[in-house]
Structure 1
Amino acid sequence: MTFFLNAPMIGFYIIALFILGCAVMLLSFQRVIYMALAIGGVFIGCAAIYILLGADFVGVAQLLIYAGAITILIMFAIMLTNHEAADPPHKWTVRNILSAVAAVLLGAVLLLVIRSTTWPPEVEADVNGGNSNPVAVGLALFQNYTVPFELVSLLLIVGMVGAVILARERKEDEEE
């Protein structure tokens, strides 16, 4: 088993280290707002992985939806609620140590299984009917899934209006 050190692999390792670093920061921060920023970093790293794999549309969608909209939504939720910094327990118990060892062993087993698997060679297939990925997604979304798409947008609008109403009621209660 040899590791190929070409530009995409080096890029992958750098992006993976970035994602792992942001995930560790997410777990180690005590303030919720910093945790939200760290999860935004994880989302950006995942988008970079998608782009590196050639799924540009999914990568840009990941950036727009998760790194942009969801991270901002988390920030608004944090700002509308009162979150104090809590001191997480910093005790190393036997259970914590065994969990860490099990996680490392699971990672090693997964790495060995993935590296020893023979993957099928790439097959040039016309899966999108000759269209590029964004065109194929757009056609599928607006021809086959128009009603579910509109229902999801309606659900998001109802959720946003509900959040504004709840925030307004809480603010009015605090003023009285």
Structure 2
Amino acid sequence: MSGELVVFFILALFTLGGAVLMINLTKVVHMVVALAFTFISIAGIYVLLDAEFIAFAQVLIYGGAVSIIMLFGIMLTKHNDHDETRNAGHKWLARIGVGVFFLVTLYAINGVNWLPEPSAMYDDNTTQIGIQLFSKYVIPFELTSVVLLVALVGAIILAKRDDHPEPVKEGEKNE
């Protein structure tokens, strides 16, 4: 058993542990912290795959920016922290859905040809990603930035919108 395999299993355990915690925790802030922990563990798996650029982007974008935006969204909005009562039928439906998803994923993984094929993927992969991103995929890249800008403006508008009370008329006291 190699050291790389041991590190993979540790990172996989942290990733799955963070995901399970995120699903099972009841406080929203704790859920976001568990999600950030999962994002950073996934970045470690990317490092093991020799995808340093994707790992850096994972930490920077998901581990940092998305988690901070989610925390700001939670803090700036009104939310009810009480756990809603859930129907027992919904829990069984979710369990059946997870079981079906597991079986489909297992079938798909068993059908993959795992023999390595020669490729020049690891030769300066950051440059290759940049060339592809700014030549072939420049329109989707720019559209993504516009969608993120619209989402940011919408979040600011929703956060600033308060329920304003009726204005006090002249001669009335404000109690």
Taking structure 1 as the reference length, the TM-score comes to 0.74
Are residues 1:126 and 2:117 paired?
Answer: no
Q: What's the CA shift for 1:84?
A: 2.7
1:145 and 1:38, CA in 2 relative to 1: closer, same or farther beyond 3 A? same
What residue number does 2:170 align with?
none
Corresponding residue to 1:160 among 123, 140, 152: 152
Q: Which runs of 5+ in 2 are unaligned?
A: 168-175
More helix by share: 1
Shift of 1:85: 2.2
**Bigger Rg, structure 1 or 2:** 2
- Cα contact 1:26–1:39 (8 A) shared by 2: yes
Given candidates 71, 76, 84, the residue that maps to 1:75 is: 71
RMSD between aligned alpha carbons? 3.3
Q: Is 1:18 equivalent to 2:14 in the alignment?
A: yes
Q: CA deviation at 1:59?
A: 1.1
Instruction: Name the counterpart of 1:138.
Output: 130
> 2: distance between equivalents of 1:83 and 1:126?
50
Shift of 1:7: 0.5
Conservation of the 8 A alpha-carbon contact between 1:19 and 1:41: yes
Per-residue deviation, 1:119: 1.9
Instruction: Name stretches of at least 5 consecutive residues in structure 1 with no aligned partner.
Output: none
Say yes or no: does 1:46 pair with 2:42: yes
Percent of counterpart pairs with the same letter?
37
CA distance in 2, matches of 1:12, 1:175: 59
2: distance between equivalents of 1:174 and 1:40?
Answer: 38
**Shift, 1:79, TM fit:** 1.1
